Amino acid sequence: MMCRGKGQQNGARSRKNQGGRSGSCALRRRAVLVMMAVYAMWPCSGVVLAWPGVRLSPSEIPQGDPALIRVELKQGETPHVLWMEREVYLIRGVEQTRWYGVLGVDLKTKPGIYPLVVKVSPGPAETKLDVTVVAKDRGVRRLTLPKAMVDLDEPTLERVRMESAVMDKVLAAPATPPAWRGPFRRPVEGSVVGPFGQGSVINEAPRSPHSGVDLKGERGAPVAAMNHGRVVLVADHFFSGRTVVIDHGGAVQSMYFHLDKVLVQEGDVVAKGDVIGLLGATGRATGPHLHLGVRVNGARVDPLALVSVSENME
Residue-wise pLDDT tens digits, 57-71: 998 999 999 999 999
What confidence tier does 27 reach under pLDDT thresholds 50, 70, 90?
very low
Q: What are the pLDDT digits (tens) for 193-213?
A: 999 999 888 888 888 889 999
- Model-level pTM? 0.82
Q: Element (H or E) spanning 263, and its range?
A: none
Q: What is the dihedral of CA 175, 181, 187, 192, to 10 degrees?
A: 90
Q: Which residues of 281-307 are buried (b: 16+ CB within 10 A; e: fewer)?
A: ebbbbeebbbbbbbbbbebbbbbbbbb
Phi (first) and psi of residue 5, to 5 degrees: -70, 165
Q: Is the model more confident about 28 or about 175?
A: 175
Contact 38, 25 (CB under 8 A): no
pLDDT: which is higher, 298 or 8: 298
pLDDT at residue 46 in the model:
53
